[in-house]
Chains A and B, each alone.
Chain A
Amino acid sequence: MTDNSVAVVSETSRRASLREQLPLLVALVVLWMLLWGSLTPLTIVTGIVVAIAVTRAFYLPPVELSGRFNPFWFAVFLGRFLGELVIASFQVALQAFAATPVPRSAILRIELRTRSDFIMTGVSLAVSLVPGSLVVEVDRTNARLYVHQLNARTPDELEKARAHVLSLEHDLLRAWGSRDEWQAVRS
């Protein structure tokens, strides 16, 4: 743990970190109100208190957002994700009942093009949420994902799985990536 770095935080960076944490604080307050199921001054005030207390007590490094967000393409990403979720869920479900239930799988190394922790997390979540693929290991410094893919035997299927993860990354960058990274991937 980097204990020393805490001591040398300047006043400006502290203020910047408060601004960066604002979306998180708002999200926590909204979650608090959803949990109580009511929107009253009491829940707002207690929500703010709890949100600040939680972010102070369990401090995490701020997530660097890209500063660009396109709601339309994010909706497209969500729609595609939900569609894949439904299809893949039933595929795996049918496989469980299939006569030959021994699926040959593979662990693929996939080099992501993004360098952003945020996008990497998003891609990993999407990959893991869709049944049939699963992130086994993450290499943050090289932006690599090691994905366990169910039902991948032939080189064709392996390539398809690889391209699928990359296209998820493409779609997420289109919605939420920084301008530079989206330009680089666009082609």
Chain B
Amino acid sequence: MIADLVRASTTFVDSEPVATILDGIAAVLILLAAFLTLAAAVGLIRFPDALARLHAATKPQILGVILVVAAIALSVRSWVVLLLLIPVIVFQLLTAPISAHMVARAGYRAGDYDPDTLAVDELAPDVAAAGRSELPGGGLDDEPGTAQGQRGGS
């Protein structure tokens, strides 16, 4: 069904030299995405602690995926394909920071970081001050229900 749509849809361009140039750009984008992925993997191996590794992990997740989607759009040259690929980018943009935040929070609380590599840690005193009774903040998932408007719905 999707293949039919792709075939039926209009293409960006038809002329031969332009197509070659677009294919070339697509190839460069793929190489860049592959480079970012490799750099992320190397960063994951070489960076000292879990929090630093998370930074290395974020870039193929965002820029790499955007580059590859752009490469597909350029090499297939169809508007429908571009529309089909938008959800991929939207989901990545929405979910990657959430999972990164949750993993970072879990990593911090589990002590999966090297305090020696931290120049400043302004979170630790606040955690200590809040004590065991209440951690600073409920994060994105724990709702204390105080600041929130009343809940409606059935």
Q: Which residues of A contact B (CB under 8 A)?
A: 2, 5-6, 9, 13-14, 16-17, 31, 34-35, 37-38, 56, 59, 61-62, 64, 85-86, 88-90, 92-97, 101-109, 117, 121, 124-125, 128-129, 131-142, 144, 146, 148, 150, 152-153, 158
When the two chains form their complex, are residues B123 and A136 in contact, meaning their CB atoms are under 8 A apart? Answer: yes
Cross-chain contact of A9 among B96, B105, B151 (Cβ < 8 A): B151
- Interface magnitude class on chain B: 35 or more
A-B contact count (CB 8 A): 195
Hey, which chain B residues are within 8 Å of A146, CB to CB? 122-123, 126, 136
For the complex, would chain A's binding face be called helix, strand, loop or mixed by DSSP majority?
mixed
Hey, which chain A residues are within 8 Å of B87, CB to CB? 31, 34-35
Q: Which residues of B contact A (CB under 8 A)?
A: 1-2, 5, 35-36, 39-40, 42-43, 46-48, 51-52, 54-56, 58-59, 62-63, 80, 83-84, 86-87, 90, 93-94, 96-97, 100-101, 104-105, 108, 117-124, 126, 136-140, 143-154
Asked if A109 meets B52 with Cβ closer than 8 Å, knowing A125-B97, A129-B62, A136-B108, the reply is: no
For the complex, would chain B's binding face be called helix, strand, loop or mixed by DSSP majority?
helix
B42: nearest chain-A partner, CB-CB: A96
When the two chains form their complex, are residues A138 and B122 in contact, meaning their CB atoms are under 8 A apart? Answer: no
